Amino acid sequence: MLYHLFDAMGFSIPGTGVFSFISFRAAMAVFVSLLISLWWGKGIIKLLRRMQVGETVRDLGLEGQTQKQGTPTMGGLIILSATIIPTLLFARLDNIYILLLLVATLWLGAIGFIDDYIKVFKKDKRGLAGKFKVVGQVGVGIIIGATVYFHPEIRTRVEVPEVLAEQLDKKDLHTVTEEDGTVHYLLNRKSPNTTIPFVKGNEFNYSSVLDAIGLDRSHTWILYIIVVIFIITAVSNGANITDGLDGLATGTSAIMVMALGILAYVSGNVIFSQYLDIMYIPGSGELAVFIGALLGACIGFLWYNAYPAQVFMGDTGSLALGGIIATLAILVRKELLIPVLCGIFLIENLSVVMQVSWFKWTRRKYGEGRRIFLMSPLHHHFQKKGIHESKIVSRFWIVGIMLAVLSIVTLKLR
């Protein structure tokens, strides 16, 4: 908003030129987001306490379980407001990537809010029926997938030889001249490409899947949207499952968001993308502003959510966080990197699937259900082993940092 305001002015105010720099606006988004989450967060927590919006925690026989009874939930409102407001202030609102992220944030935040509302105010522990959650996730997946595939502004650029450049339409070319006079010719293209981590010449076209099974490439958009739906659903549910200990989902999400911020910034910068020999995505550098706001929101929320938590994010925050992380990965063409970057979410998801599947299979086979873990998701397994939850959370953060570093290293490790 401020970018457009200063840009539209017929005169220049000294100092406002800095708003043309993504790095400045991203830094301001972090700062303002921290202020909002720390200052406004305290007020929201007090309001939730007055409204008796307390968490109903089942007695699982875990350490500190009873003390958490009544802790305010729906704290995801802090994260959402501290993300959306700085984004509206500092991001370019004509950027399709920013608009998609705002849609995903509001859409998934609304689904989580309805779920929390039913649990808290309607006193129904089941919350929003699972089928309605899935319908909501599928809906936002269709919007994001179709927009990324068909929107004319969402393109990638690839370097082409000068000989070939002379034969192409100049409107599809972008030239970059280095200090030594070397000219690079970049071709604008609209293609369903993504990046394969750890592979040299690592671009992957979804159309090749249809070629392999003998189907017409014209149906690639269907395959792409299905993949996007699956990713958004899986990651948002993974974040929701991970939100079981004080600071666990918030801290691990902040780590993932920071890594995605680096990937988005270099992918949207023509110099860095050429140096690293990665896919250049025009306009994606603006994502750094949204990511800065989200990072500040997570860190600010962690102030209140760290052990012992004064507030829980609830589904309002966890579903939105997971969906945003998935959307970011899709927009910067790093969705195949999600199993590494979001490894914490993945293992938490798998621990539940393995536990439930094994229990049902052994009950049919032996007449009694058996378990792989003492309790699922995985963080509760370690709690059952007597490890304090703050130590579990710290160790999960360490693993998350290692996975984030590995994800960033894939820029050159092939």
**Is residue 67 assigned to a domain?**
yes
**Is residue 66 assigned to a domain?**
yes
**Whether the model pTM is above 0.75:** yes
Domain count along the chain: 1
**Is residue 190 assigned to a domain?**
no
**Is residue 39 assigned to a domain?**
yes
**Is residue 383 assigned to a domain?**
yes
Q: Can you give the pLDDT at residue 329?
A: 95
The residue among 399, 314, 401 whose CA lies nearest residue 348 is 399
Span 121-152, pLDDT tens digits: 887 777 888 889 999 999 999 999 999 999 88
**Is residue 170 assigned to a domain?**
no
Domain that holds residue 218: 2-9+19-154+214-409
**What is the rounded CA–CA span in Å between residue 331 and residue 100?**
9
* Band (4; pLDDT cuts 50, 70, 90): low
The HSE-up count of residue 400 (CA atoms within 13 Å, CB side) is 25
- The answer to whether residue 5 scores a pLDDT higher than 90 is no
CA torsion 383→388→393→396, rounded to 10°? -60
Q: Can you give the pLDDT at residue 85?
A: 95
Is pLDDT larger for residue 55 or for residue 11? 55
- The answer to whether residue 103 scores a pLDDT higher than 90 is yes
**Is residue 277 assigned to a domain?**
yes
Can you state the angle between helices 248-267 and 220-242, rounded to 10 degrees? Answer: 140
**What is the rounded CA–CA span in Å between residue 307 and residue 168?**
59
Q: Can you give the pLDDT at residue 172?
A: 59
**What is the rounded CA–CA span in Å between residue 124 and residue 107?**
22
Q: Which residue matches tokens 């099974």?
A: 213
- Residues 387, 393, 395: CA angle, nearest 5 degrees: 80
Mean pLDDT throughout 2-24?
Answer: 63
The residue among 190, 184, 125, 114 whose CA lies nearest residue 152 is 190
The residue among 229, 196, 234, 191 whose CA lies nearest residue 334 is 196
* Band (20; pLDDT cuts 50, 70, 90): confident
Q: Which residue matches tokens 């699922």?
A: 376
* Band (11; pLDDT cuts 50, 70, 90): very low
Q: Quote the percentage of the chain above a pLDDT of 90.
A: 53
Span 371-414, pLDDT tens digits: 999 998 999 999 999 999 999 999 999 999 999 999 999 888 76
Q: Can you give the pLDDT at residue 163?
A: 54
* Band (354; pLDDT cuts 50, 70, 90): very high
Q: Can you give the pLDDT at residue 54?
A: 64
Span 297-336, pLDDT tens digits: 999 999 999 998 899 999 999 999 999 999 999 999 999 9
Q: Can you give the pLDDT at residue 59?
A: 44
Q: Determine which of 126-135, 183-192, 283-292, 375-384 has the lowest per-residue pLDDT on average.
A: 183-192
Span 234-282, pLDDT tens digits: 999 999 999 989 999 999 999 999 999 999 988 888 778 878 878 888 8
Q: Chain-wide mean pLDDT for the chain? A: 85
Most distant pair of Cα atoms in the chain: their distance: 80
**Is residue 161 assigned to a domain?**
no
Burial category of 40 from C-beta neighbours within 10 Å (exposed 0-12, middle 13-18, buried 19 and up):
middle
> What does each C-alpha distance from 227 to 114, 232, 238, 278, 390 come to in angstroms?
26, 9, 16, 22, 36
- The answer to whether the Cα torsion of 398, 403, 409, 414 is positive or negative is positive
- Tell me 403's DSSP state: H
Span 32-50, pLDDT tens digits: 999 999 998 888 888 888 8
Is pLDDT larger for residue 20 or for residue 327? 327
